[in-house]
Amino acid sequence: MAASAPGKLILFGEHAVVFGEPALSTAINLRAEVFVRPHREWLADGASLDEPRFRYVKKAVEKSNAPGPLWIEIRSMVPSGAGLGSSAAVTVATLGSLHSLAGSIDPPTIAREAFDVEHEVQGRASPIDTSTAAAGGGLLVLRDKQENLLWSIERDSRRWFLHRAVLPPVDFVIGNTGISAATGPLVAKVKERVDRDPGAAAAIREIGEITLDGMRALEQRDLVSVGHLMDRNHALLTELGVGHPALDRLVSAARPSSYGAKLTGAGGGGSMFALTDRPSKTAEAIRAAGGKSFVVQADSRGVAKIG
Looking at the DSSP assignment, which residues form a beta bridge with residue 171?
A: 276
Closer Cβ to ligand PMV, 1 or 261, answer by number: 261
Residues 223-242 that bind ligand PMV (CB under 6 A): none
**1, 17, 34, 254: which one binds ligand PMV (CB under 6 A):** 17
129 is catalytic: yes
Quick check: 116 binds ligand PMV (CB under 6 A)?
Answer: no
The least distance separating ligand PMV from the CB of residue 182, rounded to whole angstroms, comes to 8
The least distance separating ligand PMV from the CB of residue 47, rounded to whole angstroms, comes to 24
**137, 138, 265, 279: which one binds ligand PMV (CB under 6 A):** 265
Question: Is the bond into 38 cis (omega within 30 degrees of 0)?
Answer: no
- For residue 125, report the phi and psi dihedrals to the nearest 5 degrees: -160, 170
Q: Which among 45, 50, 116, 129 is annotated as catalytic?
A: 129
SS (H, E, C) 254-297: HHHHCCEEEEECCCCCCEEEEEECCHHHHHHHHHHCCCEEEEEC
Quick check: 18 binds ligand PMV (CB under 6 A)?
Answer: yes
Quick check: 243 binds ligand PMV (CB under 6 A)?
Answer: no
DSSP 188-209: HHHHHHHHH-HHHHHHHHHHHH
**Number of residue whose CB is nearest ligand PMV:** 265
C-alpha to C-alpha distances, 189 to 56, 157, 208, 306, nearest whole angstrom: 22, 20, 19, 39
Closer Cβ to ligand PMV, 160 or 259, answer by number: 160
Spatial contact of 295 and 173, defined as CB atoms under 8 Å apart:
yes
Catalytic residues: 129
Where does this chain bind ligand PMV (CB under 6 A)?
10, 14-15, 17-18, 83, 85, 125-126, 128-129, 183, 187, 265-266, 270
